[in-house]
Amino acid sequence: MDDAFWMNRAIIEAQNALDEDEVPVGCVIVHNNRIIGRGYNQIESLQDPTAHAEIIAITAAAEHLGSRRLEGCALYVTLEPCVMCCGAMVLARIDRLVFGARDPKAGAALTLYNIPADTRLNHRIEIVEGIYADECGNMLSEFFRRLRTNKTVN
């Protein structure tokens, strides 16, 4: 199975977020060709600013492995991670980060910062970008377009 296969699974998680009127970001963590953690944004439903898809998936993967170290794992997420999520990935020792769309406002993996590759930190993460970037970006654009439309109607 390749990056496109796993990113498709992350898109399914993003759809779960969309179904709950959350910003449609989805994430899966893969270890030995198996999903061991999954998550989607739940910031609004949980009223928790840390309830990002990546954080939820990292927590599930750590529980699955019984370890805070997620060595040998790849994290697939539909949107470039923020500073918090990139920091959590470094602390968890994730090996690979694969993301769909760049985030021009908060992207901390390549766009605004490059935390996963920062040599000042004690762990570096391989980064692959652009897998299903259009699909991931379109899902986000449509969500925010709908949100703006609904706000003007009310």
Catalytically annotated residues: 54
**Among residues 84, 82, 96, 70, which one has the least CA distance to residue 7?**
96
Residues facing 30 on adjacent strands: 35, 74
CA pair distance 124, 109, nearest whole angstrom = 11
Tell the burial category of 26 from Cβ atoms under 10 Å away from its Cβ (0-12, 13-18, 19+).
buried
Using alpha carbons only, what angle is made at residue 25 by residues 83 and 57, rounded to the nearest 5 degrees?
A: 70
User: Which residue is listed with tokens 């379109």?
Assistant: 138
Look at residue 73 and give its three-state secondary structure: strand
